[in-house]
Amino acid sequence: MNLGLLVLHVVVGLLFFAHGTQKLFGWFGGYGLVGTAGFFDQLGLRPGRLHAWAAAFAETVGGILLALGLFTPIGAALVIAVMTAAVITVHWEKGLFNTEGGYEFNLTLVAAVFALSGVGPGEWSLDNVFGIDWAGTGWALIALGAGLLGGIGAVIQGRASSTSPANQVPPTPA
């Protein structure tokens, strides 16, 4: 079982780290903060730079924590927040299946990190080395709840900023 948990938390964690660094630094073919900020502005998540930085930070740090098996529910909450915002802003309207741009992959990742929070990252993790026993149903539900609230909150804030008078372009005089 420890080998399976190691593979799960390392692979999922490193993939989130890679996605975060695509947004943050433009690594692995990413667009960096400037490109990601522009995309987030188009999605109505304003200010785009703030939301790009927050998503990049959450994926990078959450991915590192998951890969190391350290403070696993915190890493899970961070990536659940990003997946929640992604589903709401990009994938939900396209339905479930990934072939149509839907949210099935995001949901699968959320389920994986939720499960890791529930069972823990196993004996081959830094949580185990440091004696951190943050696993179980309660920790999994905390990670899920914090992630959902964080993702929904980011979308609400970003959309509210998009419609605020300060972000509206005034009409040109005739």
pLDDT of residue 58: 98
Q: Which helix (H) or strand (E) holds 145?
A: helix 137-163
CA dist 37 and 23 (Å) reads 9
pLDDT of residue 130: 98
Amino acid present at 2: N
CB 110 within 8 A of CB 55: no
CB 47 within 8 A of CB 54: no
User: What string of pLDDT tens digits covers the 174 residues of the chain?
Assistant: 899 999 999 999 999 999 999 999 999 999 999 999 999 999 999 999 999 999 999 999 999 999 999 999 999 999 999 999 999 999 999 999 999 999 999 999 999 999 999 999 999 999 999 999 999 999 999 999 999 999 999 999 999 986 755 555 444 454
DSSP code of residue 91 = I
pLDDT of residue 80: 98
Question: In angstroms, what CA-CA distances link 94 with 7, 32, 67, 145, 159?
Answer: 31, 26, 30, 24, 20
CB 128 within 8 A of CB 121: yes
CA 75 to chain centre: 9
State the CB neighbour count (10 A cutoff) for residue 47.
16
CA dist 159 and 88 (Å) reads 11
Alpha-carbon Rg for the chain in angstroms: 17
**If 0-12 CB within 10 Å is exposed, 13-18 middle and 19+ buried, where does residue 29 land?**
exposed
Say what the alpha-carbon torsion angle 14, 20, 25, 27 is, to the nearest 10 degrees. 40
